[in-house]
Structure 1
């Protein structure tokens, strides 16, 4: 028994059994029919039966599924910054987070296309309550972040995850993806929570935690979708927050979000890989030896990288102008693009609910606001 058994993905020795036990599951069939529409069922089943490693499953099946998702529900994925990364080298990717499945899947597609090490990726255990989804996540090299714990359990769980991340990066030469904060960004404001960095640092045996972060090769990542396929689904939670109410998820809400993110229209998508934070971490170390201040500074450095490289789309500028009743960015979009966005707003949001309308627009506009703040602060 490994101390990480409760959170780790499958070992390669466990892959085939997990696949074979899922062959006839309706969701596996739906996934394969979507991915290989012209392939007879017995053919893809035969190929799955001969799959014995996570890498083979990811490249032969998951990679193909994501290509179909891009083909069916987007106008393409563009990338930048990957040329800065070295092959056969592990990195700790700290990323903004928009979509449950696609953020990590698209990053891994990009890493594979560039001949780089793919990631083990953190996922909340609340998203994989169904047995098939848990198996699929473990086949796709996800490790679990346990939710809903008491403070004492949370401390123990955080230590375990921290040790596992360090083991992946240092002993297994496996890159790791973590979101900059718990859960997806609902309002378009991307900000790194210091608690995530403190959790990562728990496994450090260095006198100065900045030496530890330098060892991990931290790389900020920004991902932006022209249309958020789950934009309207995020509104009830934002509405509850506006009313200062506790938001309670519907029974299958996470699952609905998961599916909507995959099949919903995204238009264009861009992923940017920032610089490896070496000089920045050294500067922080030289500025202060107070751990809390160092963590605060590191969070700011990651935020600056993500905000600077975040790709703004016409939808972002349109929302900003509508929200501010201005034409400040009218040169960034066409009249047709504006009409399409307004039509989306009309179809997805109750026109009489001004709070929800403002929230929907702010979700798209806030990346513009934050980029302006970043530019003005420099």
Structure 2
């Protein structure tokens, strides 16, 4: 809805002009895990997290230059037809809500899941439900990565990191 604030025309005209193309970017390893882990752990423990000086800059730098493993970028077609179909639905709030849901579905459908996502889900839930999507070697490699990152943190850190990696799979399952 905020994207349409400067539009002086109708819903369809304004959102068509934006030429919305959902994109997803996925990678095996998040180079910002060490930053995110501290923040997520503080939140889980009910503590206020205060960023260190230059932490945002260091996050951006790490995201650009540090190891990510395999990377997948998916750019979907413009949502012109979908916006046209929404034009006759309800009020502006309902249209904006449905458009946001369309964008989310497109992103989740195109998001590439890697072995780490499946292994994290199984490790988190102590199951082998997704075992066909990763080998034992890949699972052990991922577990070593998790254990290395969580060293020196309380046990809750491991669960937080596993959940972070499992979340894209969980979202994908919700979308059907």
Per the TM superposition, whether the score is higher than 0.5 is yes
CA distance in structure 1 between the aligned counterparts of 2:85 and 2:152, rounded to whole angstroms: 50
1:286 deviates by 1.5
Which residue of the other structure, out of 143, 152, 157, is the alignment partner of 1:342? Answer: 143
* Aligned position for 1:239: 41
* Aligned position for 2:156: 355
CA distance in structure 1 between the aligned counterparts of 2:28 and 2:84, rounded to whole angstroms: 35
* Aligned position for 2:94: 293
User: Runs in 1 of length 4+ with deviation above 6 angstroms?
Assistant: none
Larger Rg: 1
1:352 deviates by 5.7
1:347 deviates by 0.7
Q: Is residue 322 from structure 1 mapped to residue 123 from structure 2 by the alignment?
A: yes
Any idea what SS the aligned residue of 1:224 has? strand
* Aligned position for 1:217: 19
Q: Which has the higher helix share?
A: 2
Count of aligned residue pairs for this structure pair: 176
RMSD: 1.5
* Aligned position for 2:8: 205
TM-score by length of structure 2 reads: 0.93
Q: Which has the higher strand share?
A: 1
Which residue of the other structure, out of 252, 259, 264, is the alignment partner of 2:61? Answer: 259
Any idea what SS the aligned residue of 2:52 has? coil
Structure 2 residue runs without a partner (length 5+): none
Q: Kindly provide the CA deviation profile for residues 201-244 of structure 1, in whole angstroms up to 9, marking residues without a partner as x.
A: 111011x2232101221100011011111112101211222233
* Aligned position for 1:121: none
Contact 1:351 1:357 (8 Å CA) reproduced:
no
Q: Is residue 371 from structure 1 mapped to residue 172 from structure 2 by the alignment?
A: yes
TM-score by length of structure 1 reads: 0.45
1:262 deviates by 2.5
Structure having greater relative contact order (Cα 8 Å, sep ≥ 6): 2
Q: Kindly provide the CA deviation profile for residues 166-186 of structure 1, in whole angstroms up to 9, marking residues without a partner as x.
A: xxxxxxxxxxxxxxxxxxxxx
Structure 1 residue runs without a partner (length 5+): 1-196
Contact 1:223 1:270 (8 Å CA) reproduced:
yes
CA distance in structure 1 between the aligned counterparts of 2:153 and 2:58, rounded to whole angstroms: 25
* Aligned position for 1:276: 78
Any idea what SS the aligned residue of 1:267 has? coil
